[in-house]
Amino acid sequence: MEVVTKRRLPQNLCGYANISEVPRPFVEEVEVGNGASATPPMRVRVPRALREFALVPILVVVVLLVLAGVSIVGDQAHGAFFASARRLLGHYIGASSATGTLTAVATGLVTVTSITFSVLLLAVQQTASSLSPVVFDQFVRRRTNQVYLGLFVGLALYSYVVMAAVQPKTPPIIGAFFATVLTVVALGCLLFLVYSTIDQMRPDNVMRQLHDRAVAAHEREGRIVARTRRTSTSTAPVNAELRADTFGYVESVDLDRIERAMGAGGGSGVADPGSRPEVEILVAIGDQVVLGALLARVRHPDRAEAQRICRELANALPVSPAPDIDFDPSTAVRDISNIGWTSGSTSKHNPAIAGQALHALRDLGARWLIEGERVGDESASVVYPDRDVETLLEAVYSAAVVARESRQHQQAVRVLQTYRFLAELASPPLVERIRRDVAALQDELDRLPASPAVDRERTCLDRALALDDLGAGPGTGRGARRATVS
């Protein structure tokens, strides 16, 4: 490995209360090829790999290997029960053809599986190139696909294991019978796999999966949001800051670990309640971070204790090479927005898919705006940003921009209707955000082709925002909408 001299920042960026205290890059010998990207610890990577893909196939393979062991015992045991079972199954599986059956199943299944999955992956790749790379992620995460893959791999291993244990005087009748039955099941599943893959590649299903994952991730993130506060309430000085030592995405937030670290410092004994220790997390799950980016601040009267808490924060905020869509709703929202952008822009000119993307965003906005601010009964001394609604409004704004870029007046109408719908549900601060976005879009909307529908929706939206500013119409609308949805 070639060793060269490079400039690097200190690896531990916890002990600096301000970026001005971070020393200038110093000279250090490093090995070329050492990855500077995020590498989460095994305690994070292994559970994530099992959760996303590996667990279901492994379980199916283990079940079939256990069945192989049972088949071997049944073929070689001399008990009365096993002997009668072999005689019964011998009417369907001949003793002379049992080994040949296992050989045909093993070799044929490997060939069929490799060809089928190669063709299906080509279909997935084609859809991913036209929509978004997230299609690959959806394909491997779907449980039925994982079951099918585990069945094909496990059945091939089953056949090889049973063949390896064949004795000259004990033909594998029971093993061949199970292999024949499972092969019929696997070939039937192959038909369902082909159909389900085609069904999964339909744009509306791709959008629905992203929508459902965003809803589920928002609920999971809500457990963290409900246990934290949105703004700082501590007057204690900032005596430590946590900065990223790599680039990647915030994987998760271990709130329990943060609370334990703060409790170990005895911060509850501070006389002034306003100056109690507090951790202010500045990034949300799924946010992009780079080397030196500020992740969190620690407010504590004692500088040494603040630095100790900061070191625990480094383990409580792991950085991953890729976002975890199971806990990060913003990634799903951005994927929906990207599909709508590419489909609605001049590169694709597919307003139908762009409309489906906006439909999904509108439903997410309805769900998230109705629930209001997510606050628990007892918040921990941790500040955590809740940016899901902001990310969604940015996606709606992007849909308006791309509608102007492709000069699709029908998509512009949908965007204006979405803004009006969300304004009826939003709280006053979010209504003000919508008002600013609509004001910034006026020049873009003026460049659209002449359309009575666009003019009508612009007028309706202006009236709705004006009424909301006066505290009239949308206030009633918000209550009516909430009552209808609940």
What confidence score (pLDDT) does residue 43 get?
A: 63
Position 397 pLDDT exceeds 90: yes
C-beta of residue 119 within 8 angstroms of C-beta of residue 111:
no
DSSP code of 19? Answer: G
DSSP code of 454? Answer: H
Q: What is the mean pLDDT of residues 143-164?
A: 89
Residue 318 in tokens: 């792991």
What confidence score (pLDDT) does residue 33 get?
A: 38
C-alpha 299/C-alpha 304 separation (Å) is 11
Q: What is the mean pLDDT of residues 119-130?
A: 84
What confidence score (pLDDT) does residue 469 get?
A: 57
Position 272 pLDDT exceeds 60: no
Domain range list for the chain: 52-201, 328-485
Q: How many CB atoms lie within 10 A of CB 398?
A: 18
Position 3 pLDDT exceeds 70: no
Position 395 pLDDT exceeds 90: yes
Position 211 pLDDT exceeds 90: yes
Q: What is the pLDDT of residues 175-196, one digit of tens each?
A: 888 888 999 999 898 888 888 8
Say what the pTM is: 0.73
Beta bridge partners of 243: 294
C-alpha 173/C-alpha 76 separation (Å) is 10
Closest CA to 279 of 314, 249, 252: 314
What confidence score (pLDDT) does residue 67 get?
A: 92
Q: What confidence tier does 36 reach under pLDDT thresholds 50, 70, 90?
A: low
H/E element holding 382?
strand 382-383
Q: What is the pLDDT of residues 430-446, one digit of tens each?
A: 899 999 999 998 888 88
Q: What is the pLDDT of residues 325-358, one digit of tens each?
A: 888 899 899 999 999 888 888 877 788 888 999 9
CATH architecture assigned to 328-485: Alpha Horseshoe (1.25)
